[in-house]
Amino acid sequence: MSDERKVQEVLARYVRATDKRDGAAQGALFTPDATVQIYSKTGPDSYEPVGAPLIGGDAVRYAVENFMAPHPERGSSHHVTADHIIEVEGDRAHMNAQFIVFRILSDARPADGWPVGAFGAQGTVQPIESGYYDTELRNIGGEWKITRHHILLDMAMALPSA
């Protein structure tokens, strides 16, 4: 597998861990000194930071396990990434990819079965976030790890008050 493909797979594992709310899996993708920062778009080509950066894989794990809302019953999320631009130079890589996050809520199957004429998937899929992931990685002992991860949201983001 090429280094470019391995780097892209790190992002695939990241979004799957996010969707599953698996802090251990997500935190394991980062170096101990990695920085993670969320940004909100403020203009055509400008962003401002949202909150303080997270430092290291342990902080990422903690954030996923303690600050991400659990999915509701029959609910999930699904990240889609596209248009990956990946540059590898030796043991360092840079990746920029677009993303969209969808909220999925499955309808409950009625106790007496689906009504006559019901067909196909039952529920709703709603886009809730979009933006870019701008990520730096380093190959450490044959494994690509995230060293800097910027989440560039296309919209404003509110954080809970302390």
pLDDT tens string 66-90: 988 899 999 999 999 999 999 999 9
Query: Which of 87-96, 118-127, 153-162 is least confident?
Result: 153-162
Taking Cα atoms as reference points, which of 12, 29, 67, 8 lies closest to residue 147? 29
Domain containing residue 44:
3-111+120-153
- What is the CATH number for 27? 3.10.450.50
Buried residues in 1-23 as b, exposed as e (16+ CB within 10 A): eebeebbbebbeebbebbbebbb
Report which residue type is found at 116: V
pTM, two decimals, is 0.91
Q: Is the pLDDT of residue 161 over 80?
A: no
Query: pLDDT category, 158, cuts 50, 70, 90?
Result: confident
- Say how far apart CA 140 and CA 146 lie, in whole Å: 10
Our count of domains for the chain comes to 1
Mean pLDDT along residues 31-45: 94
